[in-house]
Structure formats: C-alpha cells, structure tokens
Structure 1
Amino acid sequence: MPHTRVSSSLLATLLAVAAGSATAATPVTDKAPDITRQQPQIKKILAEISPKRIEGYVAKLVSFGTRHTMSETESDTRGIGAARRWIKAEMERCGAGTNLQVAFDSHIAPVSARISRPTEIVNVVATLPGSQEASKDRIYVTSGHYDSRVSDVMNYTADAPGANDDASGTAAVMELACVMSKYKFDATLVFMTVAAEEQGLLGARHWATQAREKKLNIAGMFTNDIIGSSRADNGKVDNKQVRLFAQSIPATKEMSDAIRTLVQTGGENDSISRQLARHTKEQGERYQKDFKVSVIQRHDRYLRGGDHMPFLEQGYAALRFTEPAEDFSHQHQDLRTENGKVYGDLIEFNDYDYIAKVTRVNAAALASLALAPGAPQGVKLRTDKLTNDSTLVWQANPEPDVAGYRVVWRETTAANWQGAKWVGNVGEATIDLSKDNVFFGVQAVDKDGNVSPASYPMPQR
C-alpha cells in the first residue's frame, strides 16, 4: 500500500479532531467519508427500542418466582427451567422470518462451593450471522444473566425476583436481539442470556472457554448486569449516565510478550478492552443524546464480578455496563421489611426508561462495530531512527468496502483521542508529532463512514 505524510504543529494538531488541522506533505487524494453523520440504520434501531417491551420482559422473568440456578426445572410456571424455555421461545418468536438462530448451550456443572449437586447450566444463545464474507467470522457478544438469588446464595426455593440483578440485563439483551435481528450487519452478533452467574460465572465461563478452544474471533463483548435502577441508596436519581467498566492489562502472574511490550511503551491504557470502551463511549453518546457513558478504568467494582470476566480471562476485549450508583438493599436480599425499609430486588424499583437508554447505548455500539471494518492488524510504530516525527505502518484490511484509514492521537495523560487525521487508503503514514510525546492509534473506515476501534502500534525497529 502507498505511504502518506501528514505534518502540523504539535499543539494545533494535538487538540484538533477535524481533519483540516493537519496538512499533508504529499496530498491525500482519497476523499474522507463523513464519519460524523448518524447512520440511518442505527437511528432506526434505536428508535425501535421500547421501554414498555423491556418492562414486559422483566415482569415475565419475575413471575417465575425464583430463577436460582438449582431451582425447579420441570414446572412451566416456576423456576429456572421455565425461565430459560420462555426466553428461548420469545426470541424465536420475535426473530421469526429473520436470520436469528436461537439455541440452548448446556453443560453439567459438578459440585463446587456454590453448587450442592451436579446441575445442568443452560445458556440461551441467539446468533445473527454476519452478511459480509470478509467480516462474518468477526463476532460481537452482548449478555445478561437470567439467574437470580436471595441472601443465601445456596437458597434455591425462596422467591428471588431478581428484577434488577439481572432481569434488567436479560431484558435488554432480548430487546436487542428482537430489534436488531430485522437488520443486516457485516459481522456476526451474539445475544446471550447466561445462567449461573451468581454461582460463579459458570454459564459465561463455559461459553467463553469453548469460544477460545474453537478459536472464535470474539472482537468485543458486553455484559449488562444491574442496569435497572437510576436511584441510589441515598435516594438520589441519576438517569443520565451508565458506568462502563474496562480492564487495562490483565493481572496475571506471567506477562505475554504483547502485554510486556504494552507496559514497556506506557500503553497500559491502550489494552483492547480500553480501545473497545473508547469506541463504545463515542458511539453511545453520539446516538443516545444527553446521556454519558462513564468509562471506569477497572475490570469491575470491589467485591463483585460479572460475566465479562471469563472473556477477559480468555484474552478477549470485554466490558461491563452497570447503573451509576447501586442500592444494595435491593440486591441479593431476602424479601422483607425491616423498620419500614423494604428489602429485595423487586420490579417496582426499576426505571424502564433508564434501562432503554442503556439498551440503546448497547445497540449503537454493537451496530457500529458490526457495520464497520475490523480494527487494523499489524500496526507498528517505526522506532529505528531518532526523529521528531512518527511513522506508522499497518496491514491492509480484508473488507472490500474499506475506504481508508485514520490516525488518531492523544496526550499521554489523556483518556480519549484528541486529534485525528484521515490519511487515505494507504498502509503507512508519517505524522509530524513526536512518538515520545503522544499515544497513537490507527482506525479503518468504510465507504459509509463506519469507523473501527483503534489499534495501538507496537514498536518496530
């Protein structure tokens, strides 16, 4: 691929997002697609997401009494068996006439700290295959867990409505599957409601482990867990933001060569999960107006965990959506009233307009990812010479509709991209900024203006 050189002053270029802030030493002849416009398909999807339908899903899930992993499986009206059969039937119903493929994913969990007898763990997995040959093996997953619990994690008979934790996330995933199945995407989307999160992330871990064994290209994963309430335990209402937890480098005893290089170059904030989070924040806030995606630079909250963690363990980019401030008297609680205070995860504590907003953020991010090219591969930063500019190289994307590439950058203390330059359909670009002073990324852009997440450049000597 050809090479382009882009130059500008450090200060003016660093703070500019508009392409006009930098000039090319060799003119860029490829016209830049409009990446700022809202895609009509994504706007239609968001418009179809219904708070009323989400509330109906939550109400039905709560009606099963308990959805504890070891609860009743034969009844049609109570227990986890009835819940999973209804979820599957509902997604089959709303996906009828589309390419949505709904199936159970099952395994037997042995006795463990939170499983008192061998128990069948069943995920409900709805897959919408990608329509572009070059992209259909690239997969994006969104999940919620449909099991529930009370104070004693081993109590599988007591009523455990789990309206927020996590019927809210399950309902969001069902709504996404039903709405998005009517549309086509280049890449494949997986809408997954998983079991046994409360018993140790068992359903998600089984699926993620299998995905790695099958060498599936999971390019991004979201879990929606406790997205139901906009009211904190102090009564304060905040319905204008959602937390998005994003891991930096994995906390493993041994570092891979890639992770070691990331650390050596100061790229701890440029892990694949952090790159996914930047993209999700940008697209979510673009389409869901007056709503903030607050990226939390941790893998999860203290003392808690979620179904994104097994995906992180397998080396995939994975994020967690959670409401801004939780009310712990409405989570993992026996149903009761003490001194006039109501305890329990009850349906009346949910805010369905808020859940719909978080669902729309999911939809905007998933759709933009599945319509865009994949993140560029083989991105390198040349470090073989002492220069005050920076040359990046990368491999050509395989997608036939790629229009070209953007180089993005930010100060080393900044969380989000501050500058960007369209460089055309090339495989190398030189930017008049010192590689010592900023962090770079490279994005692929298709002809419709859909933009991939950025890829961090590794040093090339």
Structure 2
Amino acid sequence: MIRPAPIFAAGLSALFAAASPAGAGTPEQAEVSQARLQAEVETLVGFGTRHTLSSQTDPHRGIGAARRWAEAQFRASSRACGDCLEIVTPETMVSGTRIPAPVRLVDVVAIQRGTQRPGEVVIVQGHIDSRVSDVMDAASDAPGANDDGSGTALVLEAARVLSRHKFPATIVYAVLSGEEQGLYGGKLLADYAARQGWTVKAVLNNDIVGGSCGSDGYCDDTHVRVFSEGPRADATDKTRAAARRFGGENDSPGRNISRYIATMAGDVQSGLAVRQIWRADRMGRGGDQTPFLEMGYPAVRFTVAVEDYNRQHQDLRTRDGVTYGDTVAGMDFPYLAKVTRLNVAALAALASAPMPPAPVADAAVKTWTDVTWQPVPGAAAYNVWRRATDAAQWEAGPIVTGTGQTSVRLEGLRGDDWILGVSSLAADGSESPVAAAVPGGAFGPLAAQP
C-alpha cells in the first residue's frame, strides 16, 4: 500500500512521530493544540450567530465579527513566521433561493507560498457560517460549534502549525462563508483559484469534524469519514464513453487522495483510522468541496464517523428530555485534535510531494502493458502501481520502484485484468498520490486535458 514518504522537513517528521491521541509533545515540535482548538470553537460560538445574512458591521455579533476574528488569527500566525502568510479576502455579491436580497459574501484566506513550485496548491478549508432550524433565520442564536466551528478551528490551527515550516508547493488555508445558504463560499474560492491560475493538487474540506457521538447514542471516536467522488463531476460525454471502454469509475483524483490519506492515518497517530466513503458527500447532502469538483479540482470531504442530528441545524431548546442545538457541550475536543493532526500530516505530505503524473496505459490485444506519462516538475523518480479491477486499494508495494524513466513495459501483465497507476517522488522521497492510468484519472480539470 502506498505510504506518503518522508515529510519534507525533519522537524515535521518529529512532529508527527511524537503526536499522540492525547496531544502530548513539546511546543518546539509545534504540535496541534487541543486547548487552542477548544478555545477557538468557544470564541466562534461566542459570536451568537454567524449566519450569512447576519450583521457584517456589529463588532461582537454576527458573520462580520466572526470573519474579522478569523482574519486576525491568520495575521497572528503570519507574524509568528515572519509574515510568511499572505492574507486575502475574496468577495462577491450573491443572491439565490436562500439569499432573497443580494448580500456581500467574503472568504478569509491565508496563502503560504511554496518555495519551489508556488503555483502548485493544496487547500484546506472549513465554513464559518452557521444556522438554526429555519435556514433563513439570521437573528436567533446559532452556535455552530461542530457545524462548522470545528472545521474553522482546524483550518486556523493547521495554519499556525504548518506556517512554521517551508514546503515546495503552496498551502492555502481558507475560512469560507455562505455554505449553509448554498455553497457560495466554496464557489467563490474555486473561482478565485481559477483566476489565479493555480494548479490545485487537492482540496481538503473539513465540515463537522468535532463530535464522536450520534443522535442515537452510538459513539465512534476512532474513525473519521473521508468522502470522495467516483465518476467525475466535470466528466464530458467523451470521458464517460472512454470510461465505459477502459474503466475508471473508481479512480477519480479525489478517490485516490482518499486512498492516500487512509494509508497514512496509522503512521500519524494511534486511535484514528479513515473510513473511506465512496460517494461525493452524505446521501442527499453537499459541502464546499462540491464547487471544486464541478470545476475539475480534486477534492474530498472530512466529516465525523457518526453525526448527531439533534445538534445539527437545530434551534436551541430542550424537548421531552432531549437537548437540541449545536453547542460546545456536544463536542469531543480530543477527537477534533486527532482529525486536525491527520489533516496537518496530509497537507504536509501533499505540499512536499510533486504533482501526480498523468499516465496512459496501452494493453489492447497484447500480452504486455505499456504505461507512459510526461515528466512532472519536481519529480526525481516515479513508482508504478497496480491493483485488480475489483480491489479497493493499490497493492502493498509498487511493481516498478523509483524509475527515472517516463515509460515502462510490463511484460506478461495483461492489462484487461488490472488498474495501473503512477506516483511521483521528489528527491527527498516525498511521494504523491497515485494517478490512475484510466480516462479521467489525471489530476486537474478535464477541460484542460487533451
């Protein structure tokens, strides 16, 4: 199974090796702080409501005050690393079914430029807005502790930890608005990425990542779900027709990012494994990864193993002995710290490794298979992987290791029976996710591919 190779900086290797479920470690190792995560969620709850249609000017209550506070946290992290973060606030005017009159929508984004390939970008994001039972109620208290104060706190903590280190590629930390009203903040950032000409390697969307018990009393603090799309949202008729002939239903870039993160989880810490969910989001629901997928950017969603629907999209109340509302009382902060550590490790690995290649497999009417790809900036070598067409994961190790070539002939491997893929390796051994040699397997928008 592919395991992301050594983290780019030796200090980060120590950081992840020392991490424990309890968050033990030294300040010098810049570990994720459970206490900071809790304090940040409590601060977010203290804004009363963060509804997208709430006040943008009140200094203490509403979406505007919450956004300004998040920006201040990014700026504090930037000062601590010698102004290494560029803070931008993309904005637009939006209206729609859940926004009856045009409203100003603002995302708060911190950009940590890569030292070698700054146009190659990994994004971690969560949404700052909250809601109660009535999605149009912008006045009532909407604490939004787990949905999505947890994701916002995770993003802020990732920025604090990772900004102390340098990476070849760029990391973008994003606090989004407007999710509950229609995924507007995700669309705003996806459009911003396109305008900047970024090569988006991966988007890690964190939405509801801080609780471990469901509304039925079932608890699970040892798993986090990672959702990934199968058939690509940006597929064309041509791509879909090719996939029917050559395969690829289970090999979108997001699906292979999910495999990559699932494999690394056990090396990051004990007590948290990834449960891969092979659909773009929960049944009948959506998140801010969706606008990125629609534009062809690889994206996955992190969310808790079990959801508490009594504490999600609910007015604050108690009825028949049941407490409703998304308050801090429903949080599990040790669990949130574990999910944050996994995100930090994934971001570091993805920002250290080169882009995955775009391989092509040729095996028609042959007793061998030819796999070819173009050189990748920053790649010193490549690994070639395989799995049976009905297998969930890549095999335990590559079938070709560390080749400096951009083509291989696999004698005796009848391609009909296998899915082939290729990963890129940097000179220090940092390894990318596998890109599958199937239609739609290459990372990046299909519209930009030949």
- Above 0.5 in TM-score? yes
Deviation at 1:259, TM superposition (A): 4.2
Residue 80 of structure 2 is aligned to residue 101 of structure 1: no
Deviation at 1:250, TM superposition (A): 3.0
User: What secondary structure is seen at the aligned counterpart in 2 of 1:369?
Assistant: helix
**Aligned ranges 1:208-223 → 2 under 5 Å:** 208-223=190-205
**Aligned ranges 1:179-258 → 2 under 5 Å:** 179-250=161-232, 255-258=236-239
User: What secondary structure is seen at the aligned counterpart in 1 of 2:227?
Assistant: strand
Question: Aligned letter for 1:209?
Answer: D
Deviation at 1:458, TM superposition (A): 4.4
Percent of paired sites with the same residue: 39
Residue 379 of structure 2 is aligned to residue 405 of structure 1: no
**Aligned ranges 1:223-372 → 2 under 5 Å:** 223-250=205-232, 255-372=236-353
Any idea what the Cα deviations from partners look like across 1:224-269, whole Å, max 9, x if unmatched?
Answer: 00111011112222111100000011357x7253443233212111
Q: 1:345 to 1:35 in 2, by over 3 A?
A: closer
Q: Distance in 2 between matches of 1:43 and 1:233?
A: 38
Deviation at 1:209, TM superposition (A): 2.4
Q: Distance in 2 between matches of 1:35 and 1:137?
A: 21
Which residue of 116, 122, 132 maps to 1:140?
122
Which residue of 409, 426, 448 maps to 1:446?
426
Q: Distance in 2 between matches of 1:230 and 1:458?
A: 37
User: What secondary structure is seen at the aligned counterpart in 2 of 1:188?
Assistant: strand
User: What secondary structure is seen at the aligned counterpart in 2 of 1:268?
Assistant: coil
Q: Distance in 2 between matches of 1:256 and 1:277?
A: 25
Residue 412 of structure 2 is aligned to residue 429 of structure 1: no
Q: Distance in 2 between matches of 1:284 and 1:120?
A: 39
Partner of 2:53: 70
User: What secondary structure is seen at the aligned counterpart in 2 of 1:93?
Assistant: helix
Which structure has the greater CA radius of gyration? Answer: 1
Q: Distance in 1 between matches of 2:173 and 2:192?
A: 16
Of residues 224-233 and 429-438 in structure 1, the stretch that sits farther from structure 2 once superposed is 429-438
Q: Distance in 2 between matches of 1:383 and 1:301?
A: 36
Q: Distance in 2 between matches of 1:101 and 1:256?
A: 40
Any idea what the Cα deviations from partners look like across 1:284-319, whole Å, max 9, x if unmatched?
Answer: 332133321111110011131100000011111110
Q: 1:273 to 1:371 in 2, by over 3 A?
A: same
Unaligned runs of 5+ in 2: 20-30, 440-450
Residue 372 of structure 2 is aligned to residue 393 of structure 1: yes
Q: Distance in 2 between matches of 1:66 and 1:35?
A: 40
Partner of 1:373: 354
Q: Distance in 1 between matches of 2:230 and 2:273?
A: 21
Of residues 95-104 and 55-64 in structure 1, the stretch that sits farther from structure 2 once superposed is 95-104
User: What secondary structure is seen at the aligned counterpart in 1 of 2:107?
Assistant: strand
Q: Distance in 1 between matches of 2:331 and 2:417?
A: 46
Any idea what the Cα deviations from partners look like across 1:408-453, whole Å, max 9, x if unmatched?
Answer: 1111111110141305211111224221111110111122221111
Deviation at 1:363, TM superposition (A): 1.0
Question: Aligned letter for 2:394?
Answer: W
Unaligned runs of 5+ in 1: 1-16, 19-33
Deviation at 1:35, TM superposition (A): 6.4
Deviation at 1:344, TM superposition (A): 0.2
Of residues 159-168 and 356-365 in structure 1, the stretch that sits farther from structure 2 once superposed is 356-365
Q: Distance in 1 between matches of 2:287 and 2:215?
A: 21
**Does the 8 Å CA contact 2:127/2:179 hold for their aligned counterparts?**
yes
Residue 414 of structure 2 is aligned to residue 456 of structure 1: no
Residue 105 of structure 2 is aligned to residue 121 of structure 1: yes
Deviation at 1:382, TM superposition (A): 2.3
Deviation at 1:172, TM superposition (A): 0.3
Q: 1:180 to 1:259 in 2, by over 3 A?
A: farther
Any idea what the Cα deviations from partners look like across 1:35-76, whole Å, max 9, x if unmatched?
Answer: 665663433454410111100100100000000011112221
Q: Taking structure 2 as the reference length, what is the TM-score of the superposition?
A: 0.89
Partner of 2:398: 420
Q: Taking structure 1 as the reference length, what is the TM-score of the superposition?
A: 0.87
Q: Distance in 1 between matches of 2:414 and 2:83?
A: 50
Question: Aligned letter for 2:368?
Answer: D
Question: Aligned letter for 1:450?
Answer: S
